[in-house]
Amino acid sequence: MATDLSAGIRVLPELLINQIAAGEVVERPASALKELLENSLDAGATRVDVMLEQGGIKALQVGDDGGGIAKDELVLALARHATSKIGSLDDLERVGSLGFRGEALASIASVARLTLTSRRAEAQHAWRIEALGGELSAVEPAALSEGTVVRAEDLFFNTPARRKFLKTEGTEYSHAQDAFLRIALGVPDVAMTLTHNGRRAFNLAATAAESRIAQILGDEFRTAAIPVHGEGGAFRVSGVIAAPTYSRTGRDEQYVYVNGRFVRDKLVSHAIRSAYEDVLHHQRQPAYALFLEIDPALVDVNVHPAKSEVRFRDSRAVHQFVFHALNKALARPVAAGQPAAAALAPEGQLQRAGATGGGLSPASTFTPFHQASLGIEQPRDFYAVMTKTAPTVPFAAQSSAVGVLDAPALPKVNGDMPPLGFALAQLHGVYVLAQNANGLVLIDMHAAHERIMYERLKTALDLSRLSSQPLLTPTALAVAERDTELVAQNTEFFAALGFDLAVLSPREIAVRAVPASLPQLDVPNMLRALLDDLREYGASRALTEQRNEILGTMACHAAVRANRMLTIPEMNALLRDMEATERSGQCNHGRPTWFQVTMDELDKMFMRGR
Ligand code: ADP
Ligand code: MG
């Protein structure tokens, strides 16, 4: 069908203008719901009740106990570009309300049968106005004890093309429910209910932020939650992020709010993702609910009609701020990895968890390696290095005497108990069992040691190249021919990592020095793995973009292997190192390194009343 251009330019009728605007603001019931909820919150509601029928397509109703609309403003409320929230460009630039464009009610009224009932506190009774296809009814008295009720029926009844884009009732409901929960998460002090087809789906009492998060994201998230608090310059961030051990395949549990408004922002998600980079498998998604507060003048919320995007004036500063706040929270050695720790527990408990080693900067946890007595030829001393390098950790003294078997196996449980407690035994050469103040601690010794090695290698390489220890007698290593070539071309790469290598023959290299301070050096396998990495990443990226992967390879081969018998002092040294090491709650691949089983949990297991 060709467009008839002979009609010339004309001004569109008001209804059509509103319907065009509705295309951006009211895409489906969920977006209409979002607009109505925001209006209720802007009106100062402390309670909001949502009722949907058939996914919100048949009917969508939002009632609140907010300030209400005066009788003579009901018509205006439905007019396009009519708002009580801003009056000047200045207001727009520092807008604090959720709405400000004055087009939601007009848009919804143009594509649905809308009824607006409202009562101001000082009014004798409520008033009602109806809109149908752009025609307004007379304002009539109505019954309503307080606040405002907006009801929209038969969405898109007069725009069949739009209606065709709606999905099934179930899908539309699920979008609407998401919209409801996104808003509910941001306003814990507002009581909210959601009813669908007469059935109550959510009944959220007004509560504290932590409990609202638990109400919506569930107990599993709550037990994995790490609190985040950050403040700096014009920014503030608070909320919770899930420990990396609680990760998701999708982005469904990622909530970011800027000044109370739920937003999808690539910059912020990138900053969050970067903070998790080192502790989360790249195919997994982190879960979080974060509230960013920022001077309204420094953020533009008028980017998109649906207002779900923002533009920061100084995006770099925002990125850095968010990254650092999360990085710090994730690095907290014990709190971050404590899967069973009630991170949303009372304040005092949190502080104790945080005080065990949180806030340590990488510089202060870094302890220079001892090169002198490292016995590459005597790997049974593999843990001696650790115990000697952690002199500031309480109780390290007890465990430093490697080989002394009469170390206290069952220390007294008293106020000086370190967070991870003291080792009791080793299980099948894989797990270390320890006792701490809360009960039993189970540690995957390889995973934990691997993280410790990895963090040390990173810090050491940050400061300079890795130090190197010459071998008394260089050893020859048989390799494939293409590998000798790689070695010859990358001596600088290996030198940076502490290796001194030379080509002996087309299929043999000499190892003259190895990285110092890596206790259990499995040289042949570590070198073969590094050669594989080098081939895969390419020499130019190996020590830059892929640097952490390279160090991860080294850490894996340096870490204590399963079936290695550890002495009690060695196990205690491992525990102390975990407490002093950032991100020690997860191995380099994001798997947990330890679990707490509390006395309560054990008692439950044995049905033992206390
Ligand atoms: P905006 O929210 O951008 O101002 P809307 O079209 O959503 O535009 O609403 C228009 C006006 O109607 C608002 O500015 C507000 O004054 C009034 N209003 C809408 N919903 C409510 C409500 N639930 N309670 C009180 N006033 C409301
Ligand atoms: Mg609005």
Q: What is the 3-state secondary structure (H, E, C) of 51-65?
A: EEEHHHCCEEEEEEC
Task: Give the tokens for residue 373.
Answer: 């007595």
Find the DSSP H helices in 464-522.
481-489, 491-496
The residue among 421, 425, 529, 514 whose CA lies nearest residue 479 is 529
Q: In this predicted structure, what is the pLDDT of residue 358?
A: 29
| Mean pLDDT (whole number) for 558-582 | 89
537, pLDDT greater than 70: yes
Confidence at residue 137, expressed as pLDDT on a 0 to 100 scale: 96
| pTM of the complete model | 0.68
Q: How would residue 495 be classed by pLDDT, with cut points 50, 70 and 90?
A: very high
Q: Does 403 or 427 have the greater pLDDT score? A: 427
Residues enclosing ligand 1, CB less than 6 A? 35, 39-40, 43, 64, 66-69, 77, 83-85, 99-106, 148
Cα dist from 596 to 239, 344, 355, 493, whole Å: 24, 16, 18, 41
> Is the pLDDT reported for residue 557 higher than 60?
yes
Q: Which residues contact residue 394 at a Cβ distance below 8 angstroms, ignoring those fewer than 6 apart?
A: 416, 418
| pLDDT(383) > 50 | no
Give the pLDDT score at 403.
Answer: 28
**From ligand 1's centre to the CA of 34, what distance in Å?**
13
pLDDT category at 363 given cuts 50, 70, 90 is very low
Strands 191-196 and 47-53: parallel
Query: Which has the closest alpha carbon to 61: 128, 196, 151?
Result: 151
Q: Is 90 left (phi over 0), alpha (psi -120 to 50) or beta?
A: alpha
Considering the chain, what is the average pLDDT of its residues?
83
Domains of the chain, first to last: 14-204 (3.30.565.10), 209-330 (3.30.230.10), 358-448+563-605 (3.30.1540.20), 467-516+521-558 (3.30.1370.100)
**Each residue's pLDDT tens digit, 61-111:** 999 999 999 999 999 999 988 899 988 888 888 888 999 889 999 999 999
Exposure string of 279-302, with b = 16+ CB inside 10 Å and e = fewer, is bbeeebbbbbbbbbebeeeebebe
H/E stretch holding 478: strand 468-478
Instruction: Give the pLDDT mean for 464-476.
Output: 87
CB within 8 A of 107, min separation 6: which ones?
Answer: 18, 19, 21, 22, 25, 26, 35, 80
Which-ligand-closest: CA of 62? 1
- What pLDDT does residue 2 have? 56
Whether the CB-CB separation of 424 and 438 falls below 8 Å is answered with: no
∠ CA 349-350-355, nearest 5°, is 100
Which of ligand 1's atoms lies nearest the C-alpha of 35?
7
pLDDT at 397 over 60: no
Other CB atoms within 10 Å distance of the CB of residue 496: 18
Q: Tell me, what's the pLDDT at 525?
A: 87
CA 513, 518, 520, 521 dihedral sign is: negative
Tell me which ligand sits closest to the C-alpha of residue 103. Answer: 1
Query: What is residue 4's predicted lDDT score, i.e. its pLDDT?
Result: 65
What's the rounded Cα separation, in Å, for the pair 401 and 403? 6
The two three-digit tokens of residue 103, written as one number: 């087009």
> What is the pLDDT at residue 136?
94
What is the average per-residue pLDDT within 342-348? 34
Is residue 441 within 8 Å of residue 596, measured between CB atoms?
yes
pLDDT of residue 183 exceeding 80:
yes
Judge whether 519 and 525 are in contact, CB under 8 Å. Answer: no
Q: What's the chain's length in residues?
A: 610
Distance (Å, rounded) from C-alpha 135 to C-alpha 194? 30
User: Which H or E element spans position 399?
Assistant: helix 396-399
Instruction: Indicate the helix (H) or strand (E) that contains 514.
Output: strand 508-515
Looking at residue 263, what is its pLDDT?
Answer: 94
* Interval 111-165: pLDDT, tens: 999 999 999 999 999 999 999 987 999 999 999 999 999 999 999 999 998 898 9
Distance 24 CA to ligand 2 centre (A): 14
Over 50: is that where the pLDDT of 291 sits? yes
**Residue 246 pLDDT more than 60?**
yes
pLDDT of residue 44: 97
Find the 42 Cα to ligand 2 centroid distance in Å. 8
